[in-house]
Amino acid sequence: MKTASTTAPLSFATFEWHIRPVGERLLVIEASAAPSAALSRRLGALAAYLGERQAQGALSGVSDIVPALASVGVHYRPWQVVEHLRYPTPFAALAAQLQLLLDDSDKVESASPRLIEIPVCYGGEFGPDLAGAAADCGLAEEELIALHGAEVTVLMLGFAPGHPYLGHYDERLALPRRRMPRTRVPAGSLGLANRQSVIYPQILPGGWSLIGRTPWRLFDPQAEQACRLRAGDRIRCVPIDAATFAALQEVRP
């Protein structure tokens, strides 16, 4: 399945940003906009940009940068923030560094969102809730699968390492979560709820309707990039059969 990207200017001028503390070792950069695919792409690009600047030494004390639905979290070690004595707190010092980068971000070139086609085997043992989910949506199984093949965006990673939230799908896929969550959902399973999908990167509990499964491994802590997907990626699910699933199955621990 393919992955493609191009290079385009990165601009944050259309959003107003607010930087606020969350405890002593985390701050968040919040966008004054409602969650959307466009905002997720922008936040994913912002996180990548800040990561590049961190690697170049422009952000001292930062240990992790995490994009979410409407913000980017910046984890840091207060005692490592350079020049913090010039400011009332390490937070104020780091916030000042970040504001300078946000003000200068229009000069940056960044990769546009990747388009990733994810192989998915729908129904049967791979998607035990497909028939019920389709019925609840007033659709045939084939109609649900077709709607689920629309291009969507990775809105964020959360809940567990490498766990993506994909959306937003057609209004006909506004399915509520299950009333009784499962305690063990197989790795690679795709859940559907509220016009979104999640992909479980490992065996986890979950309350979403399971409609299919991908043979891909989404999280590998030994890989250079532990998470296969990232916020802002464009995603398209491509149906495969069981034989293809077996051929593409990636080793999981």
CA distance 198 to 169: 12
* pLDDT of res. 42: 83
| Number of residues that this document lists for the chain | 253
* pLDDT of res. 14: 59
3-state secondary structure 34-85: CCCHHHHHHHHHHHHHHHHHHHCCCCCCEEEEEECCCEEEEEECHHHCCCHH
Domains, the chain: 3-111 (3.30.1360.40), 115-248 (2.40.100.10)
75-100 pLDDT, tens per residue? 999 999 977 678 889 999 999 999 98
* pLDDT of res. 6: 38
Show the DSSP H helices in the chain as ranges: 37-55, 90-104, 130-136, 141-148, 242-248
191-238 pLDDT, tens per residue? 999 999 999 999 999 999 999 999 999 999 999 889 999 988 999 999
Which tokens belong to 156?
């964020």
CA distance 191 to 167: 12
Q: Residues in the chain with pLDDT < 50?
A: 3-10, 108-109, 253
* pLDDT of res. 13: 55
* pLDDT of res. 84: 66
